[in-house]
C-alpha cells in the first residue's frame, strides 16, 4: 500500500517533473527536426483533385523533394527540374505569414498528416507538370505544347523532350469555339524568361496552370514529386 503515498514524496514529485521535462525536450527536438527536414529535404503530399489524369488520380500520395529551389544557383535548379517533372506549385509564396501562425500551422499539420491547417493554404497549392524551362520557345496546338529549347534550331513536342513518358487528357471543344478564347487548345508563340517555368495540368480542360497564371518563377516551386506511395497498386515513380 505504500505506493499510494508516493505522490506525496518530494523525491517522487521531483522524478515525475524530471520525466515530464525530458518528454517536452524530446518532443520539441523531434518537431524542430521534422520542420527542418520537411522544409529542406523531403515531405509528404496528396493530390486533392483530378487535374493530373490520366496518370495521377485524386487521393494519390507522394514523397516530395522539398528542397527550396530558390536557394540553388540557376544551373542547379534547371538541372534538377526537367521537362516532364511533376512539381508542387505554391502560388502563395508572396503572401506574408506571421511567425507564430506559421509555427502553429506546421504543428497542426504535423499531427493531422497535412490535412488540416490554420494558414489558409487551400487555393494556392497545386500539383503540375513542368513543360518548358527558362529560355524555351513554346506554342500550343490542340492542347499539346511544342517546345524549342534554348539554343536549339528546331522544336519538338512536349512528349519527345520529357524525361519520362506520360499521357494527357484532351478535352472535346465545340466546333465553333474560337481559338482566341481561353482553353481553346491553341496558344501563340512565347519565349520564357531566364527565371520562368511553364507548368500544365495533364488534364488539359479548364484548370489552373500557366495558361491562366502565365509562366511561374522558381520561387513558386515548393518541391518535386519523387515517389508515389499510395495506393500500393500504383506504387513507384509517377
Nearest in space to 133 (alpha carbons), one of 106, 110, 152: 152
The backbone torsions φ and ψ at residue 200, rounded to the nearest 5 degrees and listed phi first, read -135, 160
pLDDT digits (tens, 9 = 90+) for 210-233: 998 999 998 898 889 999 998 999
What is the predicted pLDDT for the residue at 18? 77
3-state secondary structure the chain: CHHHHHHHCHHHHHHHHHHHHHHHHHHHHHHHHHHHHHHHCEEEEECCCCCCCCCCCCCCEEEEECCCHHHCCHHHHHHHCCCCCEEEEECCCCCCCCHHHHHHHHHHHHHCCCCCCCCCCCCCEEEEEEEECCCCEEEEECCEEEEECCCCCCCEEHHHHCCCCCCCECCCCCCCCCCCCCCCCCEEEEECCCCCEEEECCECCCCCCHHHHCCECHHHEEEEEEEEEECHHHCECC
Count of CB atoms situated within 10 Å of the CB of 12: 13
Environment class of residue 228 by beta-carbon count within 10 Å: exposed (0-12), middle (13-18) or buried (19+)?
buried
From the list 43, 73, 53, 95, the residue with the least C-alpha distance to 238 is 53
What's the pLDDT at 16? 76
Find, among 163, 166, 138, the residue nearest to 152 by Cα: 138
Handedness of CA 218, 223, 226, 227 (dihedral sign): negative
d(CA 128, CA 225): 10
- Whole-model pTM: value is 0.74
Kindly report the number of other CB atoms within 10 A of residue 150's CB atom: 15
Residue 27 confidence (pLDDT) above 70: yes
* pLDDT higher than 50, residue 75: no
Q: What is the pLDDT of residues 185-195, one digit of tens each?
A: 888 999 999 88
Q: What is the pLDDT of residues 150-181, one digit of tens each?
A: 889 999 999 999 989 999 999 887 776 666 66
> Is 204 within 8 Å of 168 (Cβ atoms)?
yes
Domain extents for the chain? Answer: 42-96+122-231
For position 96, what pLDDT does the model report?
A: 47
Give the mean pLDDT of the chain: 80
Q: What angle do CA 65, 133, 80 make, to 5 degrees?
A: 30
CATH of 42-96+122-231, one of 3.20.20.120, 3.20.190.10, 2.40.50.140, 2.10.109.10: 2.10.109.10
pLDDT band at 30 (very low <50, low <70, confident <90, very high): confident
Amino acid at each position: 500500500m505504500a505506493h499510494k503515498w508516493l505522490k506525496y514524496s518530494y523525491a517522487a514529485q521531483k522524478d515525475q517533473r524530471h520525466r515530464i521535462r525530458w518528454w517536452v525536450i524530446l518532443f520539441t527536438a523531434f518537431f524542430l527536426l521534422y520542420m527542418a527536414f520537411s522544409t529542406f529535404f523531403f515531405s509528404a503530399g496528396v493530390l486533392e483533385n483530378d487535374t493530373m489524369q490520366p496518370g495521377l488520380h485524386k487521393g494519390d500520395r507522394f514523397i516530395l523533394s522539398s528542397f527550396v529551389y530558390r536557394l540553388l544557383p540557376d544551373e542547379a535548379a534547371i538541372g534538377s527540374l526537367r521537362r516532364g517533372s511533376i512539381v508542387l506549385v505554391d502560388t502563395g509564396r508572396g503572401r506574408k505569414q506571421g511567425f507564430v501562425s506559421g509555427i502553429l500551422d506546421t504543428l497542426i499539420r504535423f499531427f493531422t498528416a497535412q490535412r488540416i491547417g490554420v494558414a489558409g493554404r487551400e487555393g494556392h497549392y497545386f500539383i503540375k507538370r513542368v513543360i518548358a524551362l527558362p529560355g524555351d520557345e513554346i506554342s500550343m496546338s490542340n492542347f499539346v505544347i511544342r517546345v524549342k529549347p534554348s539554343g536549339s534550331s528546331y522544336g519538338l513536342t512536349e512528349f519527345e523532350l520529357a524525361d519520362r513518358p506520360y499521357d494527357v487528357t484532351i478535352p472535346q471543344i465545340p466546333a465553333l469555339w474560337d481559338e482566341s478564347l481561353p482553353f481553346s487548345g491553341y496558344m501563340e508563340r512565347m519565349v520564357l524568361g531566364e527565371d520562368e517555368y511553364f507548368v500544365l495540368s495533364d488534364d488539359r480542360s479548364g484548370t489552373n496552370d500557366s495558361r491562366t497564371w502565365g509562366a511561374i518563377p522558381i520561387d513558386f516551386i515548393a518541391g518535386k514529386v519523387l515517389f508515389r506511395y499510395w495506393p500500393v497498386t500504383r506504387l513507384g515513380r509517377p
